[in-house]
Homo-oligomer: A and B are copies of this chain.
Amino acid sequence: MGNRPTIADIAKRVGVSPGAVSFALNGRPGVSEQTRARIVEVAREMNWRPHRAARALGGSQAGAVGLVLARDPHTLGSEQFYTQVLYGMQETLSARSFAVQMQLVRDTTAEIALYRDWSSEHRVDGLVLVDLQVDDPRLTVIDELNIPAVTLGPRLDGALPSVWADDSEAMITIVDYLAALGHRHIAHVAGPPVYRHTAQRMAALRDHAISRGLDVGVSVPTDFSDAQGAAATRTLLSRRDPPSAIIYDSDLMAAAGLGVALELGVRVPHELSIVSFDDSVLTRIVHPQLTCLSRDTYALGAQVAEVLLKAIADPSARQSVQSETPKLVVRGSTARAATQR
Protein backbone atom coordinates (compact mmCIF):
# COMPACT_ATOMS: atom_id res chain seq x y z
CA MET A 1 0.00 0.00 0.00
CA GLY A 2 2.93 2.31 0.73
CA ASN A 3 4.21 2.22 -2.84
CA ARG A 4 2.62 5.22 -4.49
CA PRO A 5 3.17 5.37 -8.23
CA THR A 6 5.43 8.25 -9.25
CA ILE A 7 5.32 10.66 -12.16
CA ALA A 8 8.10 8.52 -13.70
CA ASP A 9 5.99 5.35 -13.43
CA ILE A 10 3.14 7.05 -15.26
CA ALA A 11 5.47 8.49 -17.92
CA LYS A 12 6.88 5.01 -18.57
CA ARG A 13 3.44 3.45 -18.88
CA VAL A 14 2.15 6.16 -21.26
CA GLY A 15 5.42 6.43 -23.19
CA VAL A 16 5.98 10.16 -22.71
CA SER A 17 8.47 12.26 -20.73
CA PRO A 18 8.00 12.84 -16.99
CA GLY A 19 7.77 16.55 -17.78
CA ALA A 20 4.76 15.94 -20.00
CA VAL A 21 3.10 14.00 -17.19
CA SER A 22 3.76 16.80 -14.74
CA PHE A 23 2.34 19.41 -17.14
CA ALA A 24 -0.71 17.27 -17.82
CA LEU A 25 -1.51 16.49 -14.19
CA ASN A 26 -1.11 20.09 -13.14
CA GLY A 27 -3.37 21.41 -15.87
CA ARG A 28 -0.62 23.45 -17.52
CA PRO A 29 -0.33 23.94 -21.26
CA GLY A 30 2.39 22.09 -23.21
CA VAL A 31 0.74 18.77 -24.00
CA SER A 32 -2.01 17.97 -26.48
CA GLU A 33 -5.54 17.39 -25.19
CA GLN A 34 -5.32 13.78 -26.37
CA THR A 35 -2.07 13.08 -24.53
CA ARG A 36 -3.34 14.85 -21.45
CA ALA A 37 -6.50 12.72 -21.44
CA ARG A 38 -4.42 9.55 -21.78
CA ILE A 39 -2.09 10.59 -18.94
CA VAL A 40 -4.99 11.42 -16.63
CA GLU A 41 -6.59 8.07 -17.47
CA VAL A 42 -3.42 6.13 -16.66
CA ALA A 43 -2.81 8.18 -13.51
CA ARG A 44 -6.32 7.29 -12.38
CA GLU A 45 -5.81 3.60 -13.18
CA MET A 46 -2.58 3.59 -11.17
CA ASN A 47 -4.33 5.46 -8.34
CA TRP A 48 -1.75 8.21 -8.52
CA ARG A 49 -2.10 11.20 -6.22
CA PRO A 50 0.37 14.01 -5.64
CA HIS A 51 1.47 14.68 -2.12
CA ARG A 52 -0.55 17.58 -0.83
CA ALA A 53 2.54 19.42 0.31
CA ALA A 54 3.99 19.22 -3.17
CA ARG A 55 0.80 20.50 -4.70
CA ALA A 56 0.53 23.31 -2.21
CA LEU A 57 3.98 24.51 -3.34
CA GLY A 58 2.54 24.58 -6.86
CA GLY A 59 0.10 27.27 -5.78
CA SER A 60 -3.13 25.52 -4.82
CA GLN A 61 -4.01 26.15 -1.24
CA ALA A 62 -7.04 24.17 -0.25
CA GLY A 63 -7.03 21.23 -2.64
CA ALA A 64 -10.79 21.45 -2.82
CA VAL A 65 -13.57 22.97 -4.90
CA GLY A 66 -17.09 23.74 -3.73
CA LEU A 67 -20.53 22.91 -5.10
CA VAL A 68 -23.44 24.32 -3.09
CA LEU A 69 -27.08 23.37 -3.59
CA ALA A 70 -29.76 25.56 -2.01
CA ARG A 71 -32.64 23.22 -1.15
CA ASP A 72 -35.27 22.96 1.51
CA PRO A 73 -34.33 19.86 3.55
CA HIS A 74 -37.87 18.54 3.42
CA THR A 75 -38.35 18.83 -0.33
CA LEU A 76 -35.23 17.03 -1.44
CA GLY A 77 -35.80 14.65 -4.31
CA SER A 78 -34.90 16.45 -7.50
CA GLU A 79 -31.20 16.45 -6.77
CA GLN A 80 -30.30 13.26 -8.64
CA PHE A 81 -29.11 15.35 -11.57
CA TYR A 82 -26.54 16.98 -9.30
CA THR A 83 -25.49 13.70 -7.70
CA GLN A 84 -24.48 12.47 -11.16
CA VAL A 85 -22.74 15.76 -11.94
CA LEU A 86 -20.94 15.53 -8.60
CA TYR A 87 -19.76 12.00 -9.37
CA GLY A 88 -18.37 13.07 -12.75
CA MET A 89 -16.62 16.04 -11.14
CA GLN A 90 -15.15 13.94 -8.33
CA GLU A 91 -13.62 11.34 -10.62
CA THR A 92 -11.92 13.98 -12.76
CA LEU A 93 -10.83 16.13 -9.84
CA SER A 94 -9.63 13.36 -7.55
CA ALA A 95 -7.20 12.29 -10.29
CA ARG A 96 -5.62 15.71 -9.74
CA SER A 97 -5.99 15.44 -5.96
CA PHE A 98 -8.81 17.94 -5.59
CA ALA A 99 -11.74 17.12 -3.34
CA VAL A 100 -15.23 18.36 -4.14
CA GLN A 101 -17.02 19.90 -1.19
CA MET A 102 -20.75 19.48 -1.88
CA GLN A 103 -22.85 21.35 0.62
CA LEU A 104 -26.62 21.56 1.01
CA VAL A 105 -27.97 24.84 2.39
CA ARG A 106 -31.46 26.26 2.83
CA ASP A 107 -31.33 29.28 0.52
CA THR A 108 -29.20 31.72 -1.46
CA THR A 109 -28.50 33.84 1.63
CA ALA A 110 -26.97 30.83 3.38
CA GLU A 111 -25.11 29.96 0.18
CA ILE A 112 -23.52 33.41 0.03
CA ALA A 113 -22.62 33.28 3.74
CA LEU A 114 -20.91 29.96 3.08
CA TYR A 115 -18.89 31.40 0.18
CA ARG A 116 -17.71 34.22 2.46
CA ASP A 117 -16.66 31.70 5.11
CA TRP A 118 -14.94 29.44 2.63
CA SER A 119 -13.11 32.41 1.20
CA SER A 120 -11.94 33.78 4.55
CA GLU A 121 -10.87 30.31 5.65
CA HIS A 122 -9.26 29.38 2.29
CA ARG A 123 -11.33 26.23 2.17
CA VAL A 124 -11.74 26.06 -1.59
CA ASP A 125 -9.70 26.90 -4.66
CA GLY A 126 -12.76 27.24 -6.87
CA LEU A 127 -16.53 27.08 -7.05
CA VAL A 128 -19.21 25.67 -9.32
CA LEU A 129 -22.33 27.85 -9.43
CA VAL A 130 -25.58 26.10 -10.36
CA ASP A 131 -29.27 27.10 -10.50
CA LEU A 132 -28.40 30.49 -11.97
CA GLN A 133 -30.96 33.16 -11.17
CA VAL A 134 -32.29 35.88 -13.43
CA ASP A 135 -30.81 38.55 -11.18
CA ASP A 136 -28.22 36.49 -9.36
CA PRO A 137 -26.81 38.04 -6.16
CA ARG A 138 -24.04 35.44 -6.09
CA LEU A 139 -22.25 36.84 -9.14
CA THR A 140 -21.19 40.10 -7.49
CA VAL A 141 -20.12 38.23 -4.34
CA ILE A 142 -17.94 35.85 -6.38
CA ASP A 143 -16.45 38.88 -8.11
CA GLU A 144 -15.75 40.56 -4.79
CA LEU A 145 -14.26 37.43 -3.20
CA ASN A 146 -12.18 36.80 -6.31
CA ILE A 147 -12.54 33.03 -6.21
CA PRO A 148 -12.21 31.15 -9.53
CA ALA A 149 -15.68 29.93 -10.42
CA VAL A 150 -17.53 28.19 -13.24
CA THR A 151 -21.25 28.45 -13.90
CA LEU A 152 -23.29 25.45 -15.01
CA GLY A 153 -26.55 26.41 -16.68
CA PRO A 154 -27.61 28.95 -19.28
CA ARG A 155 -25.06 31.09 -21.11
CA LEU A 156 -23.99 34.23 -19.24
CA ASP A 157 -22.17 36.50 -21.64
CA GLY A 158 -19.06 38.23 -20.37
CA ALA A 159 -19.38 36.79 -16.92
CA LEU A 160 -17.64 33.78 -15.41
CA PRO A 161 -16.26 30.78 -17.28
CA SER A 162 -19.12 28.43 -17.97
CA VAL A 163 -20.40 25.11 -19.17
CA TRP A 164 -23.67 26.15 -20.71
CA ALA A 165 -26.72 24.58 -22.25
CA ASP A 166 -29.26 26.11 -24.61
CA ASP A 167 -32.59 25.70 -22.83
CA SER A 168 -34.51 27.54 -25.54
CA GLU A 169 -33.31 25.10 -28.16
CA ALA A 170 -34.19 22.20 -25.88
CA MET A 171 -37.74 23.50 -25.40
CA ILE A 172 -38.13 24.04 -29.15
CA THR A 173 -37.07 20.43 -29.79
CA ILE A 174 -39.86 19.20 -27.54
CA VAL A 175 -42.51 21.56 -28.95
CA ASP A 176 -41.64 20.62 -32.54
CA TYR A 177 -41.92 16.92 -31.69
CA LEU A 178 -45.30 17.39 -30.01
CA ALA A 179 -46.56 19.58 -32.86
CA ALA A 180 -45.54 16.87 -35.33
CA LEU A 181 -47.73 14.46 -33.34
CA GLY A 182 -50.66 16.83 -33.89
CA HIS A 183 -50.69 18.51 -30.48
CA ARG A 184 -51.89 22.10 -30.64
CA HIS A 185 -52.51 22.80 -26.98
CA ILE A 186 -49.25 22.29 -25.06
CA ALA A 187 -48.78 23.28 -21.40
CA HIS A 188 -45.66 23.47 -19.25
CA VAL A 189 -45.24 22.68 -15.55
CA ALA A 190 -42.22 24.85 -14.82
CA GLY A 191 -39.75 25.37 -12.00
CA PRO A 192 -39.52 28.72 -10.20
CA PRO A 193 -39.19 31.54 -12.79
CA VAL A 194 -36.44 33.07 -10.64
CA TYR A 195 -34.13 30.57 -12.36
CA ARG A 196 -32.71 31.64 -15.69
CA HIS A 197 -33.18 28.26 -17.33
CA THR A 198 -36.83 28.17 -16.27
CA ALA A 199 -37.42 31.69 -17.59
CA GLN A 200 -35.76 30.74 -20.90
CA ARG A 201 -37.92 27.67 -21.28
CA MET A 202 -41.10 29.62 -20.55
CA ALA A 203 -40.22 32.29 -23.12
CA ALA A 204 -39.23 29.69 -25.71
CA LEU A 205 -42.53 27.82 -25.34
CA ARG A 206 -44.58 31.00 -25.62
CA ASP A 207 -42.70 32.37 -28.62
CA HIS A 208 -42.35 29.09 -30.49
CA ALA A 209 -46.00 28.11 -30.00
CA ILE A 210 -47.02 31.44 -31.54
CA SER A 211 -44.60 31.13 -34.45
CA ARG A 212 -45.89 27.62 -35.25
CA GLY A 213 -49.51 28.74 -35.04
CA LEU A 214 -50.28 26.60 -31.99
CA ASP A 215 -52.43 27.61 -29.03
CA VAL A 216 -50.67 29.83 -26.53
CA GLY A 217 -48.26 27.70 -24.47
CA VAL A 218 -49.08 28.24 -20.80
CA SER A 219 -46.39 27.69 -18.15
CA VAL A 220 -47.41 27.02 -14.54
CA PRO A 221 -44.58 27.85 -12.09
CA THR A 222 -43.86 25.54 -9.14
CA ASP A 223 -41.19 25.07 -6.47
CA PHE A 224 -39.98 21.86 -8.20
CA SER A 225 -41.64 19.67 -5.53
CA ASP A 226 -43.71 16.63 -6.47
CA ALA A 227 -46.63 18.17 -4.56
CA GLN A 228 -46.67 21.36 -6.63
CA GLY A 229 -46.06 19.37 -9.82
CA ALA A 230 -49.16 17.32 -9.00
CA ALA A 231 -51.21 20.40 -8.09
CA ALA A 232 -50.27 22.18 -11.32
CA THR A 233 -51.28 19.10 -13.31
CA ARG A 234 -54.65 18.95 -11.52
CA THR A 235 -55.24 22.62 -12.37
CA LEU A 236 -54.39 22.13 -16.04
CA LEU A 237 -56.43 18.95 -16.48
CA SER A 238 -59.47 20.42 -14.69
CA ARG A 239 -59.79 23.29 -17.16
CA ARG A 240 -62.64 23.42 -19.62
CA ASP A 241 -60.01 23.26 -22.36
CA PRO A 242 -57.28 20.97 -21.00
CA PRO A 243 -53.95 20.60 -22.82
CA SER A 244 -53.31 17.41 -24.81
CA ALA A 245 -49.63 17.49 -23.88
CA ILE A 246 -47.71 18.68 -20.81
CA ILE A 247 -43.98 19.35 -20.61
CA TYR A 248 -42.42 19.07 -17.12
CA ASP A 249 -39.25 20.80 -15.97
CA SER A 250 -38.16 17.76 -13.93
CA ASP A 251 -38.81 14.06 -14.00
CA LEU A 252 -39.98 14.10 -10.38
CA MET A 253 -42.80 16.48 -11.35
CA ALA A 254 -43.50 14.51 -14.54
CA ALA A 255 -43.90 11.31 -12.54
CA ALA A 256 -46.18 13.13 -10.09
CA GLY A 257 -48.18 14.50 -13.04
CA LEU A 258 -48.54 11.00 -14.47
CA GLY A 259 -49.98 9.96 -11.11
CA VAL A 260 -52.55 12.77 -11.25
CA ALA A 261 -53.61 11.74 -14.76
CA LEU A 262 -54.20 8.19 -13.50
CA GLU A 263 -56.13 9.59 -10.53
CA LEU A 264 -58.37 11.67 -12.83
CA GLY A 265 -58.84 8.84 -15.31
CA VAL A 266 -56.99 10.69 -18.08
CA ARG A 267 -55.25 8.02 -20.16
CA VAL A 268 -51.54 8.51 -20.92
CA PRO A 269 -50.56 8.70 -23.76
CA HIS A 270 -53.98 8.34 -25.48
CA GLU A 271 -55.55 11.45 -23.97
CA LEU A 272 -52.47 13.15 -22.59
CA SER A 273 -48.83 13.12 -23.72
CA ILE A 274 -46.15 13.75 -21.09
CA VAL A 275 -42.55 14.87 -21.70
CA SER A 276 -39.91 15.35 -19.01
CA PHE A 277 -36.94 17.69 -19.23
CA ASP A 278 -34.72 15.31 -17.25
CA ASP A 279 -33.85 11.66 -17.63
CA SER A 280 -33.09 9.94 -14.35
CA VAL A 281 -34.00 6.43 -13.31
CA LEU A 282 -37.43 7.84 -12.35
CA THR A 283 -38.48 8.11 -15.98
CA ARG A 284 -37.98 4.39 -16.48
CA ILE A 285 -39.71 2.98 -13.40
CA VAL A 286 -43.12 4.57 -14.00
CA HIS A 287 -45.68 3.20 -16.45
CA PRO A 288 -45.77 4.21 -19.17
CA GLN A 289 -42.10 5.14 -19.17
CA LEU A 290 -41.53 8.85 -19.81
CA THR A 291 -40.42 10.48 -23.02
CA CYS A 292 -37.69 12.92 -22.03
CA LEU A 293 -34.62 14.89 -22.90
CA SER A 294 -31.56 12.85 -22.01
CA ARG A 295 -27.93 13.73 -21.58
CA ASP A 296 -24.84 12.20 -20.02
CA THR A 297 -24.80 14.08 -16.72
CA TYR A 298 -21.76 12.14 -15.54
CA ALA A 299 -19.78 13.41 -18.56
CA LEU A 300 -21.19 16.88 -17.89
CA GLY A 301 -19.66 16.78 -14.41
CA ALA A 302 -16.28 15.82 -15.88
CA GLN A 303 -16.57 18.73 -18.33
CA VAL A 304 -17.36 21.18 -15.51
CA ALA A 305 -14.31 19.90 -13.62
CA GLU A 306 -12.04 20.47 -16.63
CA VAL A 307 -13.21 24.05 -17.12
CA LEU A 308 -12.86 24.76 -13.41
CA LEU A 309 -9.32 23.34 -13.31
CA LYS A 310 -8.39 25.68 -16.16
CA ALA A 311 -9.95 28.62 -14.32
CA ILE A 312 -7.97 27.74 -11.19
CA ALA A 313 -4.72 27.39 -13.16
CA ASP A 314 -5.31 30.67 -14.98
CA PRO A 315 -7.92 32.96 -13.38
CA SER A 316 -7.77 35.33 -16.33
CA ALA A 317 -9.10 32.61 -18.66
CA ARG A 318 -12.84 32.94 -19.27
CA GLN A 319 -13.56 29.71 -21.08
CA SER A 320 -17.15 29.15 -22.12
CA VAL A 321 -18.03 25.67 -23.34
CA GLN A 322 -21.37 24.47 -24.64
CA SER A 323 -22.41 21.15 -23.12
CA GLU A 324 -23.75 18.31 -25.20
CA THR A 325 -27.25 19.11 -26.46
CA PRO A 326 -29.77 16.81 -24.74
CA LYS A 327 -31.39 14.26 -27.03
CA LEU A 328 -35.08 13.47 -27.12
CA VAL A 329 -35.70 9.89 -26.00
CA VAL A 330 -39.17 8.76 -27.03
CA ARG A 331 -40.86 6.30 -24.68
CA GLY A 332 -44.45 5.31 -23.95
CA SER A 333 -45.77 8.58 -22.49
CA THR A 334 -46.22 10.38 -25.83
CA ALA A 335 -48.49 9.60 -28.78
CA ARG A 336 -50.44 11.31 -31.57
CA ALA A 337 -53.02 13.77 -30.30
CA ALA A 338 -56.57 12.44 -30.27
CA THR A 339 -58.42 13.95 -33.24
CA GLN A 340 -61.40 15.12 -31.20
CA ARG A 341 -60.73 17.80 -28.63
Contacts and interface: CB of A to CB of B under 8 A. Distances in A.
A109 B116 CA distance: 36
A54 B73 CA distance: 30
Given A113-B47, A281-B252, A73 B101 contact: no
Contacts of A113: 47
Interface residues of A, number: 53
Given A87-B104, A99-B101, A116-B1, A226 B287 contact: no
Contacts of A80: 76-77, 79-80
A57 interface: no
Contacts of A94: 103, 114
Contact of A255 (B76, B123, B285): B285
Which 9 residue pairs of A and B lie closest in terms of their CB atoms, listed nearest first? Answer: A77-B281, A52-B121, A255-B285, A87-B104, A256-B285, A73-B87, A262-B287, A259-B287, A73-B298
A145 to B, nearest CB: 11
Given A52-B123, A282-B285, A285-B286, 9 more contacts: A51-B120, A63-B121, A90-B103, A226-B281, A226-B284, A252-B285, A255-B285, A259-B285, A259-B286
Given A1-B116, A116-B1, A226-B281, A73 B84 contact: yes
Interface of A: 1, 47, 49, 51-52, 63-64, 71, 73-74, 76-77, 79-80, 83-84, 86-88, 90-91, 94, 99-105, 110, 113-114, 116-117, 120-121, 123, 226, 252, 255-256, 258-259, 262-263, 280-282, 284-287, 298
